[in-house]
A and B are shown apart, each in its own frame.
Chain A
């Protein structure tokens, strides 16, 4: 036992390096390809150029160069759109999912319609959303909440349907009836499903954010990418993609941490 523990400690460093191996290898490959000129810079710029562009985008004073210093305002615009859309999706998807998972009537009522709606690709909603909401915040929020709704709803419905009925019976015999049982047994009982649904929903929120921002809004990470494409700034496109990857990953981590902070069941079961 003691030995095993020691072994674990000595392996700790290499173990913590594990997630960085794949990005590291890809980065090395990229450098070598760019350095040898196998890939021309108009297809994929040299990593050093990317870093420079990124630095300018994030840290330089506005007006110094194209895109200089726009990062914070773009980030704020994008994050607030994702936040609003994602919150809206939770507000509708969560209660509906719980109801549909527990009540055959509700699932019968909703599931056909929701599954048909789910088959419609999000991008086909774009023209309609533009007509309804115009260019800007509302369209993006609409697209984000629509896209995030489905994974949240489906996962929570599945989770609520699969909660061990013995747990609910145990609660009932201990005097915990429906309303309290929903909060103290049902929701903790399907917490792993809830968290999965929320994480998938948040991930897809970022995808649809970019879709919503591709349509001529002035600010946002997606808007920057679209703008750079029109100006032929491939380096800026790559910077935008990387920043979305980083922000998306951070927001996922933040979501998991927040859930674990707020819910004992998330802390102990996920």
Chain B
């Protein structure tokens, strides 16, 4: 099945986008306080489109996916699939989770067959399971338990067990985040080839910019606290995409420039608990500030070093 990827949102035979989110907001109540997690999210995904949602940790990506999957109800606004509101989880809209969520007491084959049981006759089921085992390349590991296979294989099983249900929409919540660099690349390629063959709509949530550029037809950027959509990019790059292509690098720079500037507003930094965290940002030292801002660097020495480098890059001196 080959489809032309156009810039416009393709529509299906129902005349409405496969997935449509309109003015979605969500509060979480915690005791007396109520936190706004998602603020007026509106976007849509056409049939067979691969949309990546990127944003920093804590911007509500997972909450958004939980709502799309029907695990939690939307606060206000509406979420529709083919024009029908999503009220509860179902096989037409499936999730590949960030963490391992395979059934540990079932073998690879049984995990993939789980959702198909009682849906079709045994012979047909076996054929389908065989097909998807082969598609994700796990034929030799069919009788292994989840605890006996690697992280990458687990995510392939997780992918196969939902693809076998032929969902119209596939939601993926940072599924490759715990895999190593090479495996992640491999899994992206696998995903793209499966997607080309099976043609679902995919909503792929990630915080990895390269992952988003490699995969997406369209990239939606979410802003942090409260989560709202700040920007949208169409990725017009030809496939297969490689990180060393000039267009790729150019697009990446463009994305980073706006994404980086958006995510590191100075006034946002001042709201942090530690007043020493205040600094302005520029795209040149973006990676430094990313690690700083995402709280990964707790070592004051490293922070100081980063800070000094930063000062040099900016050509100015700062005192803590």
Contacts and interface: CB of A to CB of B under 8 A. Distances in A.
Interface stretch (B18-26, B29-37, B101-109, B126-134): B101-109
B90 A264 contact: no
B105 A175 contact: no
B101 A170 contact: yes
B165 A174 contact: yes
Interface of A: prevailing SS = helix
A80 B47 CA distance: 64
A136 to B, nearest CB: 42
A176 B70 CA distance: 14
Nearest to A180: B118
Contacts of A174: 91, 94, 114-115, 161-162, 165
Contacts of A89: none
A188 B110 CA distance: 14
Contacts of B161: 174
A5 interface: no
Interface in B71-94: 71, 88-91, 93-94
Given A166-B97, A166-B99, A172 B105 contact: no
B104 A268 contact: yes
Interface in A249-270: 264-265, 268-269
Most buried by A among B88, B90, B105: B105
Contact of B101 (A167, A265, A268): A167
A269 B89 contact: no
Contact of A268 (B69, B90, B97, B145): B145
A264 B105 contact: yes
B69 A173 contact: yes
Most buried by B among A169, A170, A171, A188: A170
A265 B101 CA distance: 16
Interface in A156-171: 164, 166-167, 169-171
Nearest to B114: A174
Nearest to A266: B105
A84 to B, nearest CB: 31
A184 B103 CA distance: 10
Contacts of A224: none
Interface residue tally of chain B, by bracket? 20 to 34
A167 B103 contact: yes
Contacts of B70: 172-173
A39 to B, nearest CB: 50
B263 to A, nearest CB: 28
Given A166-B97, A166-B99, A268-B145, A172 B104 contact: no
Contact of A172 (B88, B103, B114): B88
B95 interface: yes
Interface string B137-174: 00000000100000000000000011001000000000
A188 B103 contact: yes
29 contacts: A166-B97, A167-B101, A167-B103, A169-B69, A169-B71, A169-B101, A170-B97, A171-B114, A172-B70, A172-B71, A172-B88, A172-B89, A173-B89, A173-B91, A173-B93, A173-B94, A173-B162, A174-B91, A174-B114, A174-B115, A174-B161, A174-B165, A175-B91, A176-B115, A188-B103, A189-B105, A264-B105, A265-B105, A268-B104
Given A169-B95, A172-B90, A174-B115, 15 more contacts: A164-B101, A166-B101, A169-B101, A170-B103, A172-B88, A172-B89, A173-B95, A173-B162, A174-B91, A175-B90, A175-B91, A176-B114, A176-B115, A264-B106, A265-B105
Interface of B: 69-71, 88-91, 93-95, 97, 99, 101, 103-106, 114-115, 119, 145, 161-162, 165
Q: Which 3 A-B pairs have the closest CB atoms?
A: A174-B115, A265-B105, A166-B101
